[in-house]
C-alpha cells in the first residue's frame, strides 16, 4: 500500500508549485474564514487555473451555507470537497461533487460506525479532536483506535510532520496522509524545505 499525500492550507501559487514538485497528489484550499489558512475564492481560482494536470484540488468547508459552497465550486472548478463540521451525508452529497468527510477522533468515537454514516464519501479523513477547533490542530491522536479493516481507506491527518509521518504510515498504512501545519514556515505559508523533507519521509515509509 503506497500512501498518497495531500498538502492542505495552500494560499500561494509558489507553495502549490513546490508541493507538486515534491510529489504531492492533492492540494487543499481552506474556505473557512476563521482559519489562519483561509483563502478567498478568487485567489484560489487563480492558483487552481495555473496548476498542471493530474493534481487533485480540494475545497475545505466547515458547516457552510450550501449556496456559498455552490458558488465557490462554480468559481474555482474544484475537484473534491472536504467537510470538517457536523455535516450529515445528505448535506455532503447535495453538490454532485465528490467529497471526503473529516471526522475528529477522540477516545469515545466509534470510528467504524461514524465512517458507515457516509457511504457516498470517496474517503473519510481522520483528524484529532480538539475542543473548539474543526481541524489544523497540530495534535496527534491514538492511531491504534483506527479499525484495521478501514485503514487502507482512510486519509490520516492530525499533527503529522517530518518527525512522525513515516511512523504513521508504517503503523497505519492509510490511503493518504494530510499535512498542513507540519509543512509551514508560518500559518498559511508553506516552507519548501519542510514539504520536501515530509515527502522524503513518506517515500521512505512507502518503500519499507
Is 15 a known active-site residue? no
Residue 127 known to be catalytic = yes
Q: Considering 8, 15, 92, 178, which one is annotated as catalytic? A: 8
Catalytic residue among 15, 92, 127, 178: 127
Under 8 Å between Cβ of 158 and 168: no
Residues 8, 176, 45, 101, CA torsion sign: negative
Query: What is 109-172 written as a DSSP string?
Result: --HHHHHHT-TT-SEEEEEE-BTTBSS-------GGGS-GGGGGGEEE-SS--TTTHHHHHHHH
* Joined grid coordinates for residue 54: 493530474
Please list the active-site residues: 8, 127
Amino acid at each position: 500500500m503506497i500512501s498518497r499525500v495531500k498538502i492542505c492550507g495552500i494560499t500561494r501559487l509558489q507553495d502549490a508549485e513546490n508541493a507538486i514538485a515534491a510529489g504531492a497528489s492533492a492540494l487543499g484550499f481552506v474556505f473557512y474564514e476563521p482559519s489562519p489558512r483561509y483563502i478567498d475564492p478568487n485567489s484560489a481560482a487563480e492558483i487552481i487555473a495555473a496548476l498542471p494536470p493530474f493534481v487533485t484540488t480540494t475545497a475545505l468547508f466547515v458547516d457552510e451555507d450550501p449556496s456559498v459552497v455552490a458558488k465557490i465550486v462554480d468559481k474555482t472548478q474544484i475537484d473534491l470537497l472536504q467537510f470538517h463540521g457536523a455535516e450529515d451525508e445528505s448535506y455532503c452529497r447535495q453538490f454532485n461533487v465528490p467529497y471526503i468527510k473529516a471526522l475528529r477522533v477522540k477516545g469515545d468515537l466509534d470510528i467504524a460506525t461514524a465512517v458507515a454514516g457516509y457511504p457516498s464519501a470517496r474517503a473519510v479523513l481522520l483528524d484529532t479532536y480538539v475542543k473548539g477547533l474543526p481541524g489544523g490542530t497540530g495534535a496527534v491522536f491514538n492511531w491504534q483506535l483506527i479499525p484495521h479493516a478501514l485503514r487502507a481507506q482512510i486519509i490520516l491527518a492530525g499533527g503529522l510532520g517530518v518527525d512522525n509521518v513515516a511512523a504513521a504510515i508504517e503503523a497505519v498504512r492509510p490511503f493518504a496522509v494530510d499535512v498542513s501545519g507540519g509543512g509551514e514556515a508560518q500559518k498559511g505559508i508553506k516552507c519548501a524545505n519542510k514539504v520536501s523533507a515530509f515527502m522524503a519521509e513518506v517515500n521512505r515509509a512507502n518503500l519499507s
